[in-house]
Structure 1
Amino acid sequence: MSKTYFYNGAIILSDSQISNGYVLVDGTKILDFGHGEIAVESDTVKINLNGRYLSPGFIDLHVHGGGGFDFMDATLEAFLGIANTHVQFGTTAMCPTSLTAELSGIYAVLDCYEEALKMNDTGAAFLGIHLEGPYLALSQRGAQDPIYIRDPEPSEYMGILSYSPHIIRWSAAPELPGALKFADYLTENGVLPSLAHTDAIYEEVLEGFNHGFSLATHFYSAMSGITRKNAQRFAGTIEAGYLIDDMDVEIIGDGIHVPPPLLKLIYKIKGPDRIALVTDAMRAAAMPEGQSILGRASDGLPVIVEDGVAKLMDRSAFAGSVATADQLIRNYVRLGEVPLVEAIKMMSQTPARILNINHRKGKIEKGYDADLVILNEDLFAELTMVMGDIKFQKYS
């Protein structure tokens, strides 16, 4: 790879931005950055930012699909199609995410990931698999298929983890029988337990946190709030997410799953260092509105996409996000009223820290991976670089 020199733009750093700045990339790494311009070798590729923003690449911890594909399809075409779709919106790295399914369906996704990891050279990079379910609270199942929801069974989850080394995160309900032993086993094997689709009260969440449940999956969605039993009130998962200072929360920042007042509240209480923006996108992301399918194309749930979100056919509930990464940035700046630098941190540096890859990804720093995004003044992605290689460029 030759060197690439970005110049004459606003460079987004961890806690500030450099006006009229530059970034120099050498191969797969960031070699230098700073204010003004520098002399570069004649064979260096020069990209004039013309005042646009240069941001760290966006890391999506939770994504199911896009471009007409779902990871549950378990085909090479689907995996690569999703990676190629989201790279157009600034996603440089992602965690392919499953849905609750029968055991054979989960294994099919794991098998396909192994193959796709070797073939993915044109889209967003794969960081590892995120399993969502099947160990969920039936009462908080959302659009997850209730047929497959069950309690953690050691022989099952041990078998799954021994089958694939690529599982890095597993979302489950911490109050289920056996969930704490499940979390202990995950943490012992370097996998992040994440609480999701849960009816837990505060005390159960706190106990789960002490066993490794340190991230709240799609905060506010499919989780308990304050409940009342007879005369007594109980704080729920949402309140626990706020009260436990070291609990990270991920937000579907489409402005619909979490409306603007809640975007502001979460930011006010948790701050950008504890918030990870995620698309949680299903197959209809970057596709025209209309009918779609949540989950596998062969036997998934029919849904309707309208008003910027997927809904059940009877419109009784949401059935998935169709957001893209740059849209999350725009929403948190405009709807959540947060500074651009902090919105980008929630889509880059904070997710990198949650996954323990913040020593090489998530910010513009010397020696870090050259994962970069050019955003125009309206915060739409116009170029995406993954490991020093331009994967998407809107203009020549």
Structure 2
Amino acid sequence: MVERQIPKPAEIFELMKFKRPELNGRKRRLEKALTIYDLREVAKRRTPAAAFDYTDGAAEGELSLARARQAFEDVEFHPSILRDVSHADPSTTIFGGPSALPFGIAPTGFTRLMQTEGEIAGAGAAGAAGIPFTLSTLGTTSIEGVRAANPNGRNWFQLYVMRDRSVSYGLVERAAAAGFDTLFFTVDTPVAGARLRDKRNGFSIPPQLTPRTVVNAIPRPWWWWDFLTTPKLEFASLTSTGGTVGELLDAAMDPSIDWDDLREIRAMWPGKIAIKGVQNIEDAKKLASLGVDGIVLSNHGGRQLDRAPIPFHLLPQVVREVGRDVEIVVDTGIMNGADIIASIALGARFTLIGRAYLYGLMAGGRAGVDRAIEILSDQLIRTMKLLQVSSLEELTPAHVTQLRRLEPREL
């Protein structure tokens, strides 16, 4: 028989310790978010459907994005044992400079559409965390504005070579003058992908007040208040070129760019240059032979060619072929710090986060971006310690198995 007794009041009161309620709604929401998917749910509640779907969606059936995320989930880790991991150092170097963590913020267009702090929040959070921030050609904060927001951190610039080459050349010169140290030459956008969510939502830049958007805005008045009481949404680095938003977007997608354009831009740019949007081995080898500094394995977040290769699956072979000659970066599908560690173990030098950062931005502005970086940082450091490695250099392919669901058929 279990011996029972009447509990003493002091013992009961000792158990009844309540947490002081957090009165700041934004802080309360962000503290409850334990994963990037949690931030996504907050973002979805707080952002009109058209803006959220522009961020969250991908091309056509969205297979490329789903497969990229699934590839990271289909990872098996192989930890070591009995190693001192009381301290794990997640810092690294990339493109000639330091980063406190093995990921940076990827370039995203129309960023102030998601939340009015936009690139200012992203650049400021990146600077505070000691990681690089990348500004898109289609960003809604100027090159100089990003530099002002992140004056002591590392800023990178993503370049679309536009139909009017002089516009692109001018952006390259401005980025160099502002101290941006790395240029991402993007090569996977000869035309825009078919983003069906945007078409179904009747989405436009800037957003238009229609009966549908008004109804959707009713439970989200804060978003519209921010949008209507802050500076006009436009391509900040392209305003001097003239033209409507649609015309500028169309001009950014040029199906005529070729290898000569790469040589021209490379000759102009004084810093490091990486080619973003590489999706096969032969192109990676050719780029390495041309002496580029880096290759970004990316399918544009699944927003261009649906059913495109999965960057994480390409990674091991590209590293074997050209990893000694160029630094390999991978993006698309990263939603957890463990995804980043798996990429580093398989030979990536660095990774980029796009949607993960934007979910934080939509969930809580600058504080939400800080929270997204904090979540990923905690996850990757914990994964390192559970794998029992104390530095990124100790990670090897032996720590990871890619469990593939999709295997090519024999022809």
Shorter-chain TM-score: which interval?
A: 0.3 to 0.5
TM-score by length of 2: 0.35
Bigger-Rg structure (1/2) = 2
TM-score by length of 1: 0.36
Bigger RCO (CA 8 Å, 6+ sep): 2
Relative to its length, the structure with more helix (as a share) is 2
Relative to its length, the structure with more strand (as a share) is 1
